Amino acid sequence: MPSSPLAGSCLCGSVKFEVTPPFTAFRYCHCTRCQKASGSAHAANVFVPSAQFVWRAGESLIKHYDHAPSQRFAVSFCAQCGSRVPHKVSARDDYLIPAGLLDQAPADMPRPQNSIFWGSRAPWYVEPHGMPCLNEYK
């Protein structure tokens, strides 16, 4: 497992950070809130202790949304490009990092351990090994 810092950034590149393994957890979340917030079937979230996370740029561009009906659900995003960005998990010493933000993630990095809120998955969700996988946009 790599122990050197992994760099991450948003789509426009304004928000930058570094996260150092090992991860506390790495999971897909299929809850309905993650479906809305990601606009996709599930979130892919890495968690690390606060001491293993550091901002490198763009913190002033970050907007934060606390989802009022929920005790814990929150979303941070880059105000310039709309990408989700990491945030400190409330009442826990962890940062949540959307895994897709990692730049040049090493091939040997830890894999997701599980999918949570599986019972809430989108009714249209198909596991990828059940469909053709193409390398180009089609």
Residues that bind Zn ion (CB under 5 A): 10, 12, 14, 29, 31, 34, 78, 80-81
Shortest reach from residue 32's CB to Zn ion, in Å: 8
Strands ordered across the beta sheet of 6-9: 6-9, 16-19, 53-57
Q: Residue 53 or 77: which CB sits closer to Zn ion?
A: 77
Shortest reach from residue 118's CB to Zn ion, in Å: 11
Shortest reach from residue 38's CB to Zn ion, in Å: 9
* Range 91-119 burial, b when 16+ CB lie within 10 A, else e: eeebbbbbbbbbeebeeeeeebeeebbee
